[in-house]
Amino acid sequence: MQTVDNVLHTTGISTKQLDLEITESLFIEDNGRILKIMNELRERGIRFALDDFGTGYSSLGYIQHFPLDKIKIDQSFVRDLDCNPQSLAIVQTVATLANALGMETVAEGIEKPEHHSLLRLAGCSIGQGYLFGRPMALEDMLEFIDNSKIEIHHQYENERSAIS
């Protein structure tokens, strides 16, 4: 809890802006203690994402009993979406399950536009990966965000013109 408080204080962000990622291996430890801490943080507005879902000690019980807001689909399922029907079936199933439980899905490791399209069709609500941007220094990231706002604005204007 102290670490979270320090991060919030240092960065100046609100609790509603913070998503903590946890892995399935965390649940093997003291479930009661973990659940208590998660509930305390959740009451403060902090959200949780289950990272690398399906690659560890997967159990649907974790999703049912812990206060999760997002399920992150591991990149191992994303990489071969276009050539492995089983990967696509897993992604669709996880996205459907998450949606039914009121959770978002984050697909990790998107590198190809085709994968992005397939993931959107499969029901994934958020994507991350090199297709959207690579790790960068703070100054580069701020410039990237500024440029993205311009691109989104132009895209919105073009869509609005097409509708008119």
Q: Where are the beta strands (DSSP E) in 7-158?
A: 19-23, 47-53, 70-73, 104-107, 126-127
Residue 132 DSSP symbol: T
Note whether 79 and 119 are within 8 A (CB): no
Pick the closest to residue 59 from 69, 47, 71, 48 (CA basis).
Answer: 71
- Catalytic residue numbers, as ranges: 108
Using CA atoms, how far apart are residues 78 and 141, in angstroms rounded to an integer? 25
- Tokens matching residue 109: 């490791």
Nearest to 88 by CA among 73, 72, 70: 73
